[in-house]
Structure 1
């Protein structure tokens, strides 16, 4: 299943305040259970996120996004944030949400949230690979028009 993320509303404020650098900061994706309820209007930092998954093959804080890219397409006035697909091998976990955040700042209270994915239902692995296949058009697409 290819997934596209929903931007946290305050991510733009964090980006314009120079709290997020998609190209050079450590951007991570963590998994959360169905007990977490994303709030696009009020959740701004990792400390706002609750109910991170636990299980075999999963490390608290999630996985680092590899090959992050930031692109602007002038023909469509679109900004795209993308990265390589993410996976947890040999994992036994159940997740409903993926949360993307900037892990570079020193504490959860200052680590800006960027986006989240709602899988639509719980997704589980048992001694298998939990994979997030980002949409071919990018993780996040913003229109500047």
Structure 2
């Protein structure tokens, strides 16, 4: 999608959804899902304080890092305030291109698995992206 020119990082609506531990990402066949409905079990977060579909990224224009010989796509940090516990812990984030505001039609871009699962317990969950951007293409 990215290399085919179907993703315009700073003008398409890019969203981040929280997924819980029963997701099927990382299992055989899931890496080929072209839309979210093709993921057998997305297991989107159902906690209080979470809006279905996740949050919209405020993306910046991709940049060229000539020193590292790569392109970088970045966005402002994101957070979910007063995020309660869901029926399962949060395992990671699905970054996807929104298509018409319909979750099932969203196009997966990247899966970011947390190093350990999270139970927010009513606190604020903040994601601070790395200085090299969210995505890097060499």
What TM-score do the two structures reach when normalised by structure 1?
0.79
Report whether the alignment pairs 1:48 with 2:35.
no
Q: Aligned match of 2:77 in 85, 107, 112?
A: 85
What TM-score do the two structures reach when normalised by structure 2?
0.82
1:42-97 Cα offsets, whole Å, 9 max, x none, are: 12222234100111110000000124331112233201111111110011133101
Is contact 1:45-1:108 (8 Å) kept? no
Q: Aligned match of 2:114 in 108, 116, 119?
A: 119
May I ask how many residue pairs the two structures share in their alignment?
130
Structure 1, unmatched stretches of 5+, are: 1-13
Higher relative contact order (CA 8 A, sep 6+): 1
Change in Cα spacing, 1:106 to 1:86, as seen in structure 2 (3 Å) is closer
Is contact 2:53-2:103 (8 Å) kept? no
More strand by share: 1
Report matched runs for 1:102-117 at 5 Å: 102-105=97-100, 107-108=102-103, 110-117=105-112
Partner of 2:11: 24
Structure 2, unmatched stretches of 5+, are: none
